[in-house]
């Protein structure tokens, strides 16, 4: 049987687009320039960093190499706050973890961070750090409105730093309580799909309400206060999306814990129905480490295609694996995570093939960010771009990595003329502890990348210290 990508390629060829495969594309030339297997990356691109920053990087990467410190990072960070006090704790974080993994607390700091990145032709994807968890309860309308303003700032800063190339990133759980997301998710799982017009949470109904709140939204399974909070969240999302549309800044909404995924999917699809009529503007996220991601991606694509909606997404492996597995073990339920790294790699590849084929068929309808730190995955994506004749000038396929992780890969891509972004967290030091802890865990899980990164940074530091 033909694979999804083979069927797409066959369709492209039979539609008299064989010239895509005959021509020597810009992408193919860029691919030849890219030394993707380099174990040292591009040391020259660290020239924009000060010796102080390089030294800090060495220290932080060494910390991330110790399993004990990483596994207990959240506890140790809280202990630091108690021992050092508020001022001392802030100073410590700014000088170490926050200074390494975050972009800044204000406009001046984040724009300076973006400026340094763009010296190496690496672009910013700014987002406001805010992580919540079950049991916290609602934070109130005033707080959620403040978060909304921060997301809007991120979009404005991205545009200011990179013009129409700027991208912003947001997480919906910062605009609504995780408890409510979970409750709605449980309802969705036990009832009709949000893709079915008969569902109380049908995507089309949510989109209709967002466009005209006067129509009202009646959800009997929610209390009056919960309905008010959910309605307020939809209104805030609509306001954020309108700013993204006005600024022409692509906005990526994150996926998070599996226990709120269906709620987030319904809300993001509703946003796409309203704002992706002309071009992919509102972008979703798909986590390849979840067992049913490929099937879900297919169903979402079919729904959007049937409604004439453009599609855009960020394809990731997933960043909550340790927490997901621990939670399932505690509850004694089946884990939604794939059984092993190789299974996730296979599913990532299937999703990648499907999306690449769609881009090749019609780049106006599908945009993709290949969000990966894995060299083999990036190489596979570049091979697909070249083999399918995708013109990178259209920038329908872009690449992304987390700020301060695997910089060698990012700069290698940018030097080859391939669009690459860094996800840059922005926000107060005090609100970043959960984020910093998770970043440390992710870094620890990428041992090969850490070795390469450490080699690159140590090489640069030695070069500066021993110039004589």
Angstrom distance (rounded) from CA 291 to CA 286 = 11
In sequence order, what are the beta bridge partners of 283?
252
The lowest-confidence range among 43-57, 341-355, 374-388 is 43-57
CA dist 457 and 270 (Å) reads 44
For the cut 70, the answer to whether the pLDDT of residue 253 exceeds it is yes
Which CA distances in Å does 39 have to 47, 87, 255, 407, 408? Answer: 18, 40, 31, 12, 8
Smallest CA-to-CA distance from 376 within 404, 344, 424, 423 is with 344
Q: Could you report the per-residue pLDDT of 309-346, keeping only the tens digit for each?
A: 999 999 999 988 878 888 999 999 999 999 999 999 99
% residues pLDDT > 70 (the chain): 86
pLDDT tens digits, 193-204: 999 999 999 999
What confidence score (pLDDT) does residue 20 get? Answer: 36
The model carries a pTM of: 0.88
In order, the DSSP letters of 59-123 are HHHHHTT-HHHHHTHHHHHHHHHHHHHHHHHHHHHHHTHHHHH--BSSHHHHHHHHHHHHHTTPE
Which DSSP state fits 337? B
Counting Cα atoms < 13 Å in the Cβ hemisphere of 289 gives: 19
Q: What value does the mean pLDDT take over residues 135-161? A: 94
Six token digits for residue 87: 């001022």
The pair of structure tokens assigned to 366 is: 């599908």
Q: Which pLDDT does position 42 carry in this prediction?
A: 46
pLDDT tens digit sequence for 60-106: 888 777 778 877 887 888 898 899 998 998 999 899 888 988 999 99
* Stretch 203-213: mean pLDDT: 96
The neighbour count for residue 383, using CB atoms within 10 Å, is 12
Report yes or no: 219 and 230 within 8 Å, Cβ to Cβ: yes
Query: Which string of b and e fits 83-99 if b means at least 16 CB within 10 Å?
Result: eeeeeebbebbeebbbb
pLDDT at 28 over 50: no
Grade residue 448 by pLDDT with cuts at 50, 70 and 90.
low
For residue 244, what pLDDT is reported?
Answer: 97
Q: Quick one: pLDDT at residue 38?
A: 42
Which two three-digit tokens encode residue 442?
């992710």
pLDDT value at 40 more than 60: no
pLDDT beyond 90 at 434: no
More confident residue, 456 or 233: 233
Q: Which 3 state secondary structure label does DSSP give 1?
A: coil
Confidence tier at 172 by pLDDT (50, 70, 90): very high
């Amino acid at each position: 049987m033909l694979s999804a990508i083979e069927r797409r390629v066959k369709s492209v060829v039979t539609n008299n687009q064989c010239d895509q495969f005959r021509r020597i594309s810009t992408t193919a030339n860029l691919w030849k320039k890219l030394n993707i297997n380099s174990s040292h990356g591009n040391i020259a691109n660290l020239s924009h960093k000060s010796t102080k920053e390089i030294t800090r990087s060495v220290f932080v990467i060494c910390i991330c190499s110790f399993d004990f410190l990483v596994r207990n990072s959240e506890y140790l960070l809280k202990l630091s706050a108690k021992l050092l006090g508020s001022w001392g704790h802030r100073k410590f974080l700014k000088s170490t973890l926050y200074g390494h993994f975050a972009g800044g607390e204000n406009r001046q700091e984040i724009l300076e961070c973006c400026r340094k990145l763009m010296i190496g032709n690496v672009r910013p994807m700014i987002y406001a750090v805010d992580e919540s968890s079950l049991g916290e309860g609602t934070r109130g309308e005033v707080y959620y409105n403040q978060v909304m303003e921060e997301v809007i700032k991120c979009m404005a800063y991205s545009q200011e730093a990179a013009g129409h190339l700027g991208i912003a990133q947001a997480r919906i759980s910062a605009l609504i309580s995780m408890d409510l997301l979970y409750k709605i998710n449980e309802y969705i799982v036990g009832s009709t799909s949000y893709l079915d017009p008969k569902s109380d949470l049908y995507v089309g109904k949510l989109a209709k309400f967002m466009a005209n709140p006067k129509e009202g939204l009646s959800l009997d399974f929610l209390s009056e206060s919960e309905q008010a909070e959910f309605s307020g969240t939809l209104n805030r999302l609509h306001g954020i999306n309108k700013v993204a549309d006005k600024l022409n800044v692509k906005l990526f909404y994150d996926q998070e814990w599996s226990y709120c995924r269906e709620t987030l999917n319904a809300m993001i699809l509703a946003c796409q129905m309203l704002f992706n009529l002309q071009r992919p503007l509102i972008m979703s996220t798909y986590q390849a480490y979840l067992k049913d991601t490929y099937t879900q991606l297919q169903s979402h694509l079919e729904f959007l295609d049937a409604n004439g909606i453009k599609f855009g997404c960020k394809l990731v492996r997933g960043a909550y694996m340790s927490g997901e597995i621990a939670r399932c073990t505690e509850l004694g339920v089946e884990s939604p995570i794939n059984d092993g790294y190789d299974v996730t790699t296979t599913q990532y590849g299937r999703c990648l093939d499907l999306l690449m084929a769609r881009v090749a068929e019609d780049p106006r309808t599908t945009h993709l960010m290949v969000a990966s730190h894995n060299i083999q995955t990036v190489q596979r994506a570049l091979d697909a771009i070249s083999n399918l004749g995708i013109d990178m000038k259209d920038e329908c396929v872009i690449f992304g990595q987390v700020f301060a992780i695997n910089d060698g890969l990012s700069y290698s891509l940018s030097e080859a003329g391939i669009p690459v972004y860094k996800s840059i967290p922005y926000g107060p030091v005090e609100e970043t502890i959960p984020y910093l802890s998770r970043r440390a865990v992710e870094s620890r899980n990428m041992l090969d990348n850490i070795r390469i990164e450490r080699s690159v940074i140590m090489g640069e530091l030695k070069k500066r210290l021993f110039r004589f």
